[in-house]
Amino acid sequence: MISLGEKFPKFNKKAVVSIEPGKEFANITSKDHINAGKWMVMFWYPKDFTFVCPTEIIEFDNHFDEFAAKDTVLVAASTDSEFVHLAWRNNHPGLGRIKTPMLADTSKSLAEELGILTAEEKVAYRVTFIVDNEGTVKWICANDLSIGRNVPEVLRVLVALQTGELTPCNWEPGMKTL
């Protein structure tokens, strides 16, 4: 798996950004968030049309505005195609209105470069990357396929990283840094 302090790999991938006809797809690149001067949280999930994955995507999207207020771009990603993403969004009541783009890594090249593919099925583990506005990986959290993430913890770590300070154990936003 890629390590902390490394540059996030370069990519240019299709993503579902809307369910509005004619506006469903856009390309997302590794430079987009850097050019905008923003951080990026990219969270990978195994497969569309599953059980744990939509709970995570919806929960991240419930916090979309909080991430945006912290100058952070949020991206969901899997190895499914953009067409499967769109079909899922059109058929799942909670995914239809999300703001979070769903990146399609159908070649599995980005997931492979990140080192996050399972050995058996060659799908992505549940891995979250926080990448700073210069493209450097600052935080990685990997979960087994069966375990969902804690989105408030991702936000807490993002804020801690953005302080540029030392934060003690159990630090929460608004508390003093060291």
At residue 142, the pLDDT reads 97
Q: Is 53 in the active site? A: yes
**12-163 is classed in which CATH architecture?**
3-Layer(aba) Sandwich (3.40)
At residue 91, the pLDDT reads 95
4 DSSP 8-state letter: T
Domain boundaries, given as residue ranges, for the chain = 12-163
Cα dihedral 103, 105, 109, 112, rounded to 10, equals 80
Residue type, 116: I
Show the tokens assigned to 102: 């769903």
Catalytic residue among 53, 57, 103, 124: 53
Measured at the CA of 103, the angle between CA 73 and CA 17, to 5 degrees, comes to 70
At residue 101, the pLDDT reads 98
* pLDDT tens across the length of the chain (178 residues): 999 999 999 999 999 999 999 999 999 999 999 999 999 999 999 999 999 999 999 999 999 999 999 999 999 999 999 999 999 999 999 999 999 999 999 999 999 999 999 998 999 999 999 999 999 999 999 999 999 999 999 999 999 999 999 999 999 999 999 9
Contacts 24+ apart (CB under 8 A), 57-62: 57/95, 57/98, 57/100, 57/102, 58/94, 58/95, 58/98, 59/149, 59/151, 60/100, 60/151, 60/154, 61/98, 61/99, 61/100, 62/151
